[in-house]
Amino acid sequence: MRVLMVGAGGVGTAITKIAARRAFFEHMVVADYDRARAESAVAGVGDDGRFTAVRLDASDAAGVRAALAEHRCDVLLNATDPRFVMPLFEAALAHGAHYLDMAMSLSRPHTSRPYEECGVKLGDAQFERAAEWEESGRLALVGMGVEPGLSDVFARYAADELFDEIEEIGIRDGADLTVDGYDFAPSFSIWTTIEECLNPPVVYEADRGWFTTPPFSEPEVFEFPEGIGPVECVNVEHEEVLLVPRWLKAKRVTFKYGLGDEFIAVLRTLHKLGLDRTEPVTVDGSAGAGRVAVSPRDVVAACLPDPAGLGDRMHGKTCAGTWVKGIKEGRPREVYLYHVVDNEWSMREYGSQAVVWQTAINPVAALELIASGAWHGSGVLGPEALPPRPFLDLLTEYGSPWGLREDTPVTPVEQR
C-alpha cells in the first residue's frame, strides 16, 4: 500500500507517528500547503525511509491527481479540515485511488427553517457520487476518525453482538482536560469546532427521518468512565447521525458533546459578533498593504494557540463513546462502549496530545485493515458498513484498548 496523506497538522503528524510503528504500508507521502510542516512531520519519525514530505495545495484537484500519479499512491488519506473534502474526494475518484477521511463534506442549513428541517446534510455531496465510486471498484471510506469513526464501529458492534432491537444510539463525548496558562484553548481545530457546534444539530428518528434543533439543545448530564465523571452534554451537528441510520436500525440517533457553559458562551459570542463567518470581509491591511479580504473564522483560529502544540500544558483524559439502549433476549439493556486516552500517556508514548492522537489512531488502523483485506468494498461507505470485530481487536493490538460499561438500570425486583 502506498498512501498520499494530505494535511500535516496535529492529526496528520500523529498519524505518521502511529503508522511508523506498523509494517502494513510500503510508503506514505506526507503533503501540506506548508512544506515545512510536512517536513517536520516526516522528521518526527526519524530515519524511516517510508515517509516523504511534499508541498501540495489540497484545493488543487489537478495537483493532487498529479501527486497520486507521481508517487504511485493507491490510497488518499485526507487529514485536512472539511473545506477540502470535496476536491480531495474528487481527485481520488478521478485517479482511481481509494479514499479515506475523518470528516465529511460540509452542510448548509435550511434557508427558512434551519432549526426544524435539514438543508444540505453532512456528507450529501459525497453520497451523491456513490454510484460512480461503486462502478470504479474503489472504496471511499468516509468519517473514519474517532467521532465519526470509532463511534460508528461501536454502533455496528452493538447492533451485531449486544442487542436484538435498538431504541437509541447516542454518541457521547466528554473530557476533563485542562490547559495551563490559557483561559480559552480548544483541544481541537477551532475552525471545525465552530462549524459543528454552531450549525443546527441533526437528530434522527425512525418515524420522522432527519430533522434539526437549535444549537446546544437537550442538555443532559452523562457520567463518563475512568475518573472523568459527570459532564453536561448537548446536541451538536455530527456525521454519526447522518451515517448510522444508513446501515443500522435504530429508533433514534443523536450526538451530544460535553462543552461546558464557558465554552458555549464563547461560541455564542463569536456567532453574535459574526466572527464564526467563513465569507471574507474587507479590512485595512498593514501599512502600505491597502485593503485585504480575510475570513473572520480564520482570524479567530489565528488568534488561538495551535491545539497540536498544547500537549505539554494539557492535563486529563478525553473519552469518545457510543451509548446504546435497546432489548436483548427480551430484556432492556443499556451499554456505553468507549475509548479513553490520557494526555500524559499519549505525550509520553507519542509526543502527541490526547485529542489529536485519539483521532489519528483510527484511520491508521482502518488503512491496515484495508491493506490486509479484512476490510474491503466499493462505493461510499461509512465505518458501520464494515465488520467491527477486526477493527476493535486491532485497536487493542495497537496498545489502546476500548471499554464496555453496562448501564442497564437495576429494577427493584432484580435488587431483591
pLDDT band at 288 (very low <50, low <70, confident <90, very high): low
Residue 23: predicted pLDDT = 96
Q: Output the pLDDT for position 149.
A: 97
Q: Which of 30-39, 143-152, 310-319 has the lowest mean pLDDT?
A: 310-319
pLDDT class for 281, splitting at 50, 70, 90? confident
When pLDDT is averaged across residues 172-196 and rounded to a whole number, the result is 78
Q: According to the model, what pLDDT value does residue 105 have?
A: 96
Who contacts 410 (Cβ-Cβ below 8 Å, separation ≥6)?
none
Closest by CA to 109, choosing from 198, 189, 193, 190, is 198
> Which of 110-114, 168-172, 250-254, 259-263 shows the lowest mean pLDDT across its residues?
259-263
Give CA–CA dist 333/341, Å, rounded.
Answer: 26
Q: What is the mean pLDDT of residues 8-18?
A: 96
- 179 against 400, higher pLDDT: 400
Between 174 and 294, whose confidence is greater? 174
Query: Where is average pLDDT lowest: 213-222, 295-304, 323-332?
Result: 295-304
The CA-atom distances, in angstroms, between 106 and each of 124, 238, 319, 396, 398 are 8, 10, 25, 32, 31
Amino acid at 113: R
pTM of the predicted structure, to 2 decimals:
0.91
Q: Is the pLDDT of residue 414 over 70?
A: no
CB contact at 8 A, 357 and 346? yes
Instruction: Go through 249-267 and write b for each residue having 16 or more CB atoms within 10 A of its CB, e for each that does not.
Output: ebebbbbbbbbeeeebebb
pLDDT the model gives residue 416: 43
Predicted confidence (pLDDT) at residue 412 exceeds the cutoff of 70? no
- H-assigned helices in 351-387: 354-372
